[in-house]
Amino acid sequence: MKLDTLAQAVGEWLRGTGPESDIVMSSRVRLARNVAHFPFVSRAAEQDRAEVEKFLRERIATVPAGQQLEYIDVGRLEEIDRQFLVERQLISREHAEAQGARGVAIDGLEQVSLMINEEDHLRIQCMHSGLDLRGVWEQIRGVDEQIGRAVPYAFHPRWGYLTACPTNVGTGIRVSVMLHLPALVITRQIDKVFRSLHKISLAVRGLYGEGSQAMGDFYQISNQTTLGRTEEELVEQVGDVVPVLIDYERRAREFLVRETQQNVHDQVSRAYGILRTAQTISAEETMQLLSRVRMGVLLGLIGDVKIADINSLLVRTQPAHLQKLRGMELDTKDRNIERARYLRRHFEGHAAEGTN
């Protein structure tokens, strides 16, 4: 898999084609698995990690699901390429920054990725656009069952799947959705919503998962515990909450249009203007401004921009993507200049298309 080619496409989580994709960017399920008779990654020697990597890579290649994946040796990648895969949501930051033998297997649609030697020996991840937790669960269950027939998982009759982190013991499942909630942020209701989520044992994380900050009003909502509940119950728990959050966000957007339309229109217009004319701009500011413009498009305040274009810009203006598209490494100052240039070219080209 050539990462330069991948940079020209849009990852699964930003396609914007799934149900409720105006608010729900993606649905994801991740399973943590370990190989029996090998020490956990955190306690494994370099030779152990190498043996696990080789064992899993060879076994996964024998199952039908694995034969549809392309394997990437993460340990041999340059830093920019590892960061590119993080921005693509195909590997975690921890996986990118780790040492020793490790890899990832990815399908052509970027729905399935298998991380080898992350926190656990194997992390199976499936991701769909929009709100499709049931579809994601059915897909990942099939992949897990196939691999489980070829790989002896570390499993205890009482405790379930054994994992490096105690919070994952049991099912080893993490169910999450990524939501775009700008109206709840603007109306200052977001903290109240998050407090309610914590009370029902749901975690709130930033764009890139655990330990990351929210950027552009994007948040990941996921289960916190896995022990004592079935996979279906945990999928249902998250699935039951998301429609409530969607309703809150839509009501907040309706309020903004009804009560403060001039103010919100001004925010959207300023954001759109800066993106089209800036000479230098950071990744963080770009995400925030694109968030406002995305909301503006969905509220009908901007008529000549497509959501698919905004979704594309959300990832292509990230540091590693920007450098891959430019074909060279750039320091922070030059990235900010190149990012502004890329945005200007995009919107100038879009305006030209609109006049034809």
Element (H, E) at 53: helix 46-60
Q: How many CB atoms lie within 10 A of CB 236?
A: 16
Residue among 221, 197, 66, 211 at smallest CA distance from 133:
221
In 3-state terms, what secondary structure has residue 178? strand
Give the confidence band of 14 by pLDDT, cuts at 50, 70, 90. Answer: confident
Please give the structure tokens belonging to residue 286.
């770009």
Supply the CATH number for residue 78's domain: 3.30.590.10
pLDDT digits (tens, 9 = 90+) for 288-322: 999 999 999 999 888 888 888 898 899 999 999 99
The last residue of one of the domains, among 198, 225, 253, is 253
* 246/271 same-domain check: no
On average, the pLDDT of the chain sits at: 90
Tell me how far apart the alpha carbons of residues 204 and 304 are, in angstroms, rounded to a whole number: 33
195, 298: one domain: no
> What would the two tokens of residue 287 be?
């995400």
| Structure token digits, residue 196 | 């309610």
Q: Are residues 103 and 217 in the same domain?
A: yes
- Asked whether residue 353 carries a pLDDT value surpassing 80, the answer given is no
Q: Is the pTM of this model over 0.85?
A: yes
Residue 5 has pLDDT above 80, yes or no: no
What range defines the domain where residue 287 resides? 260-354
- The residue with tokens 């830093």 is 79
Provide the pLDDT confidence category of residue 169 given band limits of 50, 70 and 90. confident
Cβ neighbours around 67 below 10 Å, total: 9
Report helix, strand or coil for 16.
coil
Same domain (yes/no): 158, 119: yes
Q: Are residues 46 and 165 in the same domain?
A: yes
Q: Does 139 lie in the same domain as 41?
A: yes
Domain check: are 169 and 303 in the same one? Answer: no
Which pLDDT tens digit goes with each residue over 25-59? 999 999 999 999 999 999 999 999 999 999 999 99
Determine which of 11-20, 107-116, 124-133, 247-256 has the lowest per-residue pLDDT on average: 11-20
Mean pLDDT within 184-192: 93
Q: How far is CA 301 from the centre of its chain?
A: 27
The predicted pLDDT at position 306 comes to 87
Q: Is pLDDT of 1 > 90?
A: no
